[in-house]
A and B are shown apart, each in its own frame.
Chain A
Amino acid sequence: MQTDWIMGLIGGGLIGTAAALFLLVNGRIMGASGIIGGLVDKSGRHAWQERSALIAGLVIVPALMTMIAGTRPTYLTDNLLLVIIAGLSVGIGTRVANGCTSGHGVCGISRLSLRGIVATVFYIGAGGLTVVVFKHILGLI
């Protein structure tokens, strides 16, 4: 359990370093939903190469790491209906709110952005409530 926290801090440090690099060198905000969302709804057309390159790194590096060091199960539910509902909800919600855990959470909170803080409070609150209702009350997850 303690190693989980240490790995959390180390992994978090890498995520923050990545976000810092993207801001200081390229001048951009590292928000996962904004980067992919801007590609799919074409609002980010102007920077499509940079966005595609970031997504390529985000897919390829973990792919190589799991190939070398062994796979890391995601323990995602087998219930594909639930997966589809969740995916739609995450896709719509992050684009309507203009950010997710990386954009509002990491990049927003670190500059004490009120929008980032409010968004984070609401998605964590809604996520917590969802787990309580669907796991402890309905027993569906």
Chain B
Amino acid sequence: MRNIVAFVVGGLFGAGLLLSGMTNTQKVQGWLDVFGDWDPTLAFVMGGAIIPMAIAWQLTKGRRPVLGGEFDAAPDPVVDRRIVIGSVMFGIGWGLVGLCPGPAIASLTFGGIGGVVFMIAMIAGMIVAPKLRDTLA
């Protein structure tokens, strides 16, 4: 059951990314391009996503997940240099080509060779990341 729910969640996530235009790298770069022809779409996507999720967080209070177990523990609230350095690195890559992990996965079947190359490079980065994360701890 958990896997069926996860598949549906992935499907809704992918449908949302596609419909909102977030698999279009130019719309993402257009949003980051405040000195060019600024495209506000991403802000609407973020806003549209944050509202249902904010309600969901309220609903978790005093409850357990429907399928049992515990809610994922909130991460250590400390803002450390890994958050800053990692996010800056992520932002640079995101700005360079306009892809972040969700849309990169969602567009895998129609993003051409470039999309596949991005995915391979991203996975390679994810394999080496724990070493850097430990160094920065």
Interface residues of chain A, those whose CB is within 8 Å of chain B, are 4-30, 32-33, 36-37, 40-41, 43, 49-51, 53-63, 65-66, 71-78, 80, 82-98, 100-102, 104-107, 109-111, 113-115, 118-120, 122-132, 134-136, 141
Contacts and interface: CB of A to CB of B under 8 A. Distances in A.
A12 B6 contact: no
A66 B97 CA distance: 22
A76 B110 contact: no
Given A14-B19, A56-B7, A62-B107, A87 B122 contact: yes
A86 B118 contact: yes
Contacts of B74: 111, 113
Contacts of B83: 97-98, 115, 118-119, 122
Interface residues of B, number: 117
Given A24-B65, A57-B13, A76-B111, A134 B123 contact: no
Contacts, number: 482
A104 to B, nearest CB: 7
B66 to A, nearest CB: 4
Interface centre among B22, B27, B91, B121 (most CB of A within 10 A): B91
A49 B5 CA distance: 11
B62 interface: no
B106 A58 contact: yes
A40 B39 CA distance: 34
Given A27-B69, A56-B10, A98 B18 contact: no
Contacts of A24: 56, 59-60, 65-66
B17 A62 contact: yes
A33 B103 CA distance: 11
Nearest to B4: A53
Nearest to B134: A96
Contacts of A90: 89-90, 93-94, 99-101, 104, 118, 122, 125
B91 A19 contact: no
Given A5-B44, A13-B52, A85-B93, A91 B123 contact: yes
